[in-house]
Structure 1
Amino acid sequence: MTRGNWLRSFREPMDASVRLVCFPHAGGAASAYFKLAQQLPPQIHVLSVQYPGREDRWAEPRAARLSSLAEAVAEELDRHPGPYALFGHSMGAVVAYETARRIEAGGGGARLGELFVSAHLPPSDLHGARTAVRLGEPELRRRLSLLGGTGHAVLSDPDLAELYLPILKADYAALNAYTWVPGDRLRTPLTVLAGAADPLVRPAQTYGWRDLTDGPFDQHVFPGGHFYLHEALPAVARLLSTRLTALSSGTGRQTGAPS
C-alpha cells in the first residue's frame, strides 16, 4: 500500500487508531522498518517514509537537503489527520525532528502526539560536536564497518555495494549540509532512544534533546551499538506499543506539559 509518494505500509491496518511514521537512517529505505511493523499490534499503523532515489523511487533524484524531505513529509501528513507519532533513527532522527517542527508551525490537519528520536545527537549540538563525514568510498566503507548493520553486510557483495554506496554518499552529503536553525521549542513529547555501545553517539550525548521541547521528555538506553534496533527490537516494540496505545486512548503524555 502506498500513501502519496512518500509513505509505505507493510500491512493493511485493522481499525488502526494511531499511526507511527518512521524515518530511515542514511542509506536506508522504507523497508528498514518492515520487522518493526510486524512486532507492533494491529491498532498501530506503521507508515515508513520512502526517500527518493531508492527502492521503488530509484529513478528519482536523491534529496540534497534534509529540509526538503521534512517539508514533503509534513505536507503529506497534513492530508491524513492523526493522531501521529514520528520515529527517526540516525539521520532519520533529524528528518523526523524537522518534520515535527513544520507540523507544529503549520497548524494543518496532522495531529502530532509524540516524537521518538534514535541514535543521533541533538541537531542543536551538531555544529560543535560533529565532524563532517568524508564522502570518499574508503571512508564510507570504514564508517560502515564501524557502525555495523545491514549497510556493512551489503559491502561484502560488490554488485550491491555499487548500488548502495551512491545512496549513502548522497545522504551523508545532505546531512553534512544540514544546519540547525534556532526557533520555537516543540510542544510535542519527545523520547530519545540510544544504544549503550553506540560508537558514534554516546547515550549521554543525546540528553540535550530535552532542550528542544517544552513537552515531556525521557530517554531509554538499549543494549547494542548504533543499530541496536536489530538486537533490541522486541524491547523497542514494547516501548512504542505502550506509548502509542496510550496515545490512541487519549491517556498519553500531554503535549506542552512540563518535562
Structure 2
Amino acid sequence: MQLLETALVRPRQVPDARRTLVCLGFCGGGAGVYLRWADTMPPGAELAAVCYPGREGRFLEDFAADWDALAEDALAVVTAVEGPYVLFGHSMGGWMAFDVASRIEERGGRAPEALVVSAANAPSFGLTVRDMFPAQQETDEQLMDWMRAFGLLPEHVLGDPDLAEMALELMRADIRVRDTFYHREGAKVSTPLQILSGADDDIIDPHVADHWRKLSTGDFRHDVLPGGHFYTPDIWSGLPSRITALHQD
C-alpha cells in the first residue's frame, strides 16, 4: 500500500471506474507527462501513471540499476492496481509494458484487459542502433536539445539550472537502464495487443506490425497516427481517444 502511495499517480479519481489506464514512462519522462490526459479520458475510465524510482514522489530512492530491476519495480506497482486495467507504454515504456505484461502472465497474475504499445519497435530484436536514441555519448547540450524538442522540459525547468541538472540526471539514468534491455526468450502475451505508431516516425521499423504480431497470441490491431515519435501535438494530447479498450463497455 505504501508503494502505491508514491509510485502510482492518480491525477483525478473516478468513483466506480470500469477500468484504469496504467501508463509506464518513456526514456527521460516521468509520470507527470501523462497527467494532462486526465481531461481526455472517456467516461468510466481513470488515469494512473507509474512513477519510477529516483524521480517525482520517489526522488529519495535510488534509480533502478538495470532493466530487470526497473521491470520488477514496475511489476510490483502494476499488480497492486485494483480492478480491471489497461496497460500502456510509449517508446521505452512500450517495451516495459510488454515485459511487465508477459511477466504477469508467466506468474499467473491478473493480466490487463489490453496491452497498448506506442512508438516502440518489437523487443524480439533486442536493442538495435535504431532504438538507441538519445545515446549515452551525447553531450548535456544535445540531451537538453532532445528533451526541449519533445516537450519534456517545461519553462520553469529551462529557467532553473538546478532543475535542468536534475532532468539531465534522470535522462542519463533512463538511458543506462534502457541500454541493459534484453528480450527474454519466449516472452509473449495473450492479452489483446494494440500497437500505435507515427506515420513519420523514422525510429520505427516499416514492418513493426508483423514483428509485434508474432509476440501476441490474442487479438491484435495496429493504428498508424499522424506525426513522428510523439505524433502531432493534437494527437498526443488526446491519445486516450485512440485506445480501443478504453471505449469498450
TM-score normalised by length of structure 1: 0.83
Which piece of structure 1 moves more, 198-207 or 81-90? Answer: 198-207
Cα distance change on mapping 1:81 and 1:27 into 2, 3 Å: same
Q: Which amino acid aligns with 1:16?
A: A
Deviations 1:128-150, CA, capped at 9 Å, x for gaps: 55464532342771695399312
Deviations 1:63-117, CA, capped at 9 Å, x for gaps: 1222222222323333344321100001111111111011111223x34111001
The Cα shift of 1:3 comes to 2.8
CA distance in 2, matches of 1:213, 1:23: 19
Equivalent in the alignment of 1:51? 52
- The answer (yes or no) to whether the contact 1:120–1:206 under 8 Å persists in 2 is no
Deviations 1:212-255, CA, capped at 9 Å, x for gaps: 11011111111111112633036522222x42231xx3xxxxxx
CA distance in 1, matches of 2:93, 2:232: 13
Cα distance change on mapping 1:214 and 1:26 into 2, 3 Å: same
- The answer (yes or no) to whether the contact 2:21–2:48 under 8 Å persists in 1 is yes
Equivalent in the alignment of 1:245? 247
CA distance in 2, matches of 1:192, 1:222: 10
Q: Is it true that 1:88 corresponds to 2:89 in the alignment?
A: yes
- The size of the alignment, in residue pairs, is 245
CA distance in 2, matches of 1:184, 1:199: 26
Structure scoring higher RCO (CA < 8 A, sep ≥ 6) equals 2
Equivalent in the alignment of 2:149? 148
TM-score normalised by length of structure 2: 0.86
CA distance in 1, matches of 2:131, 2:80: 37
2:228 to 225, 229, 245: 225
| Gap regions ≥5 residues in structure 2 | none
* Paired residue secondary structure (1:164): helix
Q: Which amino acid aligns with 2:9?
A: R
The Cα shift of 1:22 comes to 0.2
The Cα shift of 1:36 comes to 1.5
- The answer (yes or no) to whether the contact 1:20–1:44 under 8 Å persists in 2 is yes
CA distance in 1, matches of 2:238, 2:158: 30
Equivalent in the alignment of 1:178? 181
Cα distance change on mapping 1:244 and 1:165 into 2, 3 Å: same
- The answer (yes or no) to whether the contact 1:145–1:152 under 8 Å persists in 2 is no
Q: Which amino acid aligns with 2:96?
A: V
Equivalent in the alignment of 2:120? 120
* Paired residue secondary structure (1:161): helix
CA distance in 1, matches of 2:82, 2:226: 35
* Paired residue secondary structure (1:94): helix
* Paired residue secondary structure (2:227): coil
- The answer (yes or no) to whether the contact 2:200–2:229 under 8 Å persists in 1 is yes
CA distance in 2, matches of 1:137, 1:221: 30
Cα distance change on mapping 1:12 and 1:156 into 2, 3 Å: closer
Q: Which amino acid aligns with 1:97?
A: F
- The answer (yes or no) to whether the contact 2:188–2:216 under 8 Å persists in 1 is yes
CA distance in 2, matches of 1:209, 1:44: 26
CA distance in 1, matches of 2:201, 2:132: 18
User: RMSD over aligned Cα, in angstroms?
Assistant: 2.7
Equivalent in the alignment of 1:256? none
CA distance in 2, matches of 1:234, 1:5: 25
- The answer (yes or no) to whether the contact 2:36–2:237 under 8 Å persists in 1 is no
Percent identical pairs in the alignment equals 33
Cα distance change on mapping 1:230 and 1:220 into 2, 3 Å: same
